[in-house]
Structure 1
């Protein structure tokens, strides 16, 4: 795995549809546990007794988020620009949440133009993913959530590719999905891997569905002005801070 350092600076009808969505959720079957070498190849952190700066960085990030949010909150991770490492941070933050044996994590790949999580984790989304679920009301969400080989960590990939997610992410079905997943798994943390802020409105729309927002800036790549402009897209009450990512 490429070494990386991260640092954060903390600054009725509807009811029936919710119940119907909830009934469709089933547990995810775990895959064979990946080895440390396999996880390094997937650029994913793992528990170890050795001192590893990147593992400690994501544990610290998780700890700081737990200090500012309560319950099984939903975290949106969005990069300032393409190449800043937002997907890397989202994946490893989700892995850090899953370190706690009493908790679990669900990583949701919301980058519809450039999905990467299923490829990085070597997962074949044979049943589709998020967009397939949102497009087809007959699809059971349990069919499109995949084990990753990391204990306690599951992946909901994007599935079908789309140019924009605006109409999907602002839909009632998307909101019901997250509400149902949260309600049926009170010990699960969800991490939404968003597209870069620059270029599409998707990250801003997804922020409405999240409890906290983490912005990822590429170290020595994104200027202070670009970071400030990207941060201004989010509600200050939800904005947790900026992760400076190096070496993705």
Structure 2
């Protein structure tokens, strides 16, 4: 496993790990009354930190005793198998070759956390994600886990996240500070909503904030349906 990416595992008491735990808590509150078990994570463009964010949030849910499944549905540039140091035989095999997800999922990568990696990169990711077979897999795993977190490709790069938007109970939108314009963020949000997405919240990451020789780590999260805004700041020693 990559210690740098999985800070919630290797430095569980650090300020950044605590921020991931706060995101977990906000998602649990957002799920109350809505049964939001299947949640996708995406971003507007590549390299905004969605895969690192989802892997750490999945870890914090597992640490909280929740039976959690992490699915790497970014079948164009999959990374979860590298982050967790496990073989990449997974989702594309299940869909294209009609292999059972139960046979493919890798159990207890850490206690309470199972991972279904992306599998070999297919020529038609959007078609696979939009297939009836994918719908069946989602229907099955939602009955077996407390939470199913799905890592999706960026919204503005390809259509995959939009295809999956209506099949999940909610979407978390990850934005890297300073990496995209407000217009790009709004465009991505509009595409998700047009696809039937229920945006549970936004995580704004990598916000450097110098204060007394330290950097501040900040994320910004809101409940979409209640229009309630929460802001939480954490310090990370420079």
Name the counterpart of 2:68.
105
1:1-28, Cα deviation, whole Å (9 max, x unpaired): xxxxxxxxxxxxxxxxxxxxxxxxxxxx
Contact 2:48–2:175 (8 Å) recurs in 1:
yes
Higher RCO (CA 8 Å, separation ≥ 6 residues) = 1
Name the counterpart of 1:81.
45
1:214-247, Cα deviation, whole Å (9 max, x unpaired): 1111111122221111111223871112111218
1:184-207, Cα deviation, whole Å (9 max, x unpaired): x2x421001000111210010111
Superposed counterparts of 1:117-132, under 5 Å? 117-125=80-88, 128-132=89-93
Deviation of the 1:140 alpha carbon: 2.4
Superposed counterparts of 1:77-226, under 5 Å? 77-101=41-65, 103-125=66-88, 128-137=89-98, 139-147=99-107, 149-183=109-143, 185=144, 187-226=145-184
RMSD: 2.1
Contact 1:72–1:182 (8 Å) recurs in 2:
no
**TM-score between both structures, scaled by the size of structure 1:** 0.75
Report the secondary structure of 2:47's partner residue.
coil
Deviation of the 1:46 alpha carbon: 2.6
Contact 1:39–1:46 (8 Å) recurs in 2:
no
Contact 2:48–2:179 (8 Å) recurs in 1:
yes
- Residues 148 and 83 (structure 1 numbering): CA distance in 2 closer, same or farther, change over 3 Å? farther
Say whether residues 1:60 and 2:22 are aligned partners: yes
Number of residue equivalences: 203
Which runs of 5 or more residues in structure 2 are unaligned?
208-238
1:18-47, Cα deviation, whole Å (9 max, x unpaired): xxxxxxxxxxxxxxxxxxxx6624534138
Which runs of 5 or more residues in structure 1 are unaligned?
1-37
